[in-house]
């Protein structure tokens, strides 16, 4: 394995060490108090490990490659291998508007409605997947959120304007 030169690898390693430490500490809490740190920490450790592997193994990176914001199309369109400042600004503005839209959707409908609706719209429109895949992802996301937070942890989500 080659020696990593990028700062993002070292940052991911730092996150891995920090979150692993938090998981070890959380195992010493009582069952109810340890649930949230473990539910957040364990998947985060797995994702950080995947990111570190992606950075070190080019074949793994190619397997996990996605292009949600169509940056490759923009690179080939310019012909120079990089996007110009205007296209970059538009992409950043689009990402900010997506986050603001999600926050407004949560305020209007609440978490249990906003999360699957947002998942469906994002996957269908921005990731350009089929409506069936987007619907399956939205339903599975809702089931996961409901099972973990509503059923297992008995959390009552805050109010919303419509529901």
Tens digit of pLDDT for each residue in 62-112?
Answer: 777 765 555 555 555 555 555 577 787 787 788 888 889 999 999 999 888
pTM of the full structure: 0.52
Contacts by residues 87-91 (CB-CB < 8 Å, ≥ 24 positions apart): none
Supply the DSSP string of 79-97, one letter for each residue: SSSS--HHHHHHHHHHHHH
Share of the chain above pLDDT 70, in %: 85
Q: What angle do CA 36, 41, 47 make, to 5 degrees?
A: 140
When pLDDT is cut at 50, 70 and 90, the band that residue 17 belongs to is very high
User: Tokens 């600004």 map to which residue?
Assistant: 89
DSSP letter at 21? H
How much is the pLDDT for 45?
Answer: 92
Tell me the C-alpha distance between 34 and 103, whole Å.
Answer: 28
When pLDDT is cut at 50, 70 and 90, the band that residue 18 belongs to is very high
Delimit the domains of the chain by residue range. Answer: 1-65, 68-163
Summary mean pLDDT of the chain: 81
Coil, strand or helix: which one is 30? coil
């Amino acid at each position: 394995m080659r020696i990593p030169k990028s700062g993002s690898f070292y940052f991911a390693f730092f996150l891995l060490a920090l979150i692993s430490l938090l998981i070890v500490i959380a195992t010493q809490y009582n069952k109810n108090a340890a649930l949230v740190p473990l539910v957040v920490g364990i998947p985060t450790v797995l994702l950080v490990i995947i990111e570190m592997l992606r950075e070190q193994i080019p074949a793994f990176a190619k397997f996990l490659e996605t292009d949600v914001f169509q940056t490759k199309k923009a690179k080939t369109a310019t012909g120079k291998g990089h996007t110009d400042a205007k296209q970059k600004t538009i992409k950043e503005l689009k990402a900010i508007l997506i986050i603001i839209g999600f926050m407004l959707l949560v305020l209007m409908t609440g978490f249990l409605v906003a999360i699957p609706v947002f998942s469906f719209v994002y996957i269908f429109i921005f990731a350009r997947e089929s409506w069936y895949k987007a619907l399956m992802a939205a339903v599975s996301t809702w089931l996961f959120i409901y099972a973990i937070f509503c059923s297992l942890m008995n959390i009552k989500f805050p109010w919303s304007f419509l529901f």
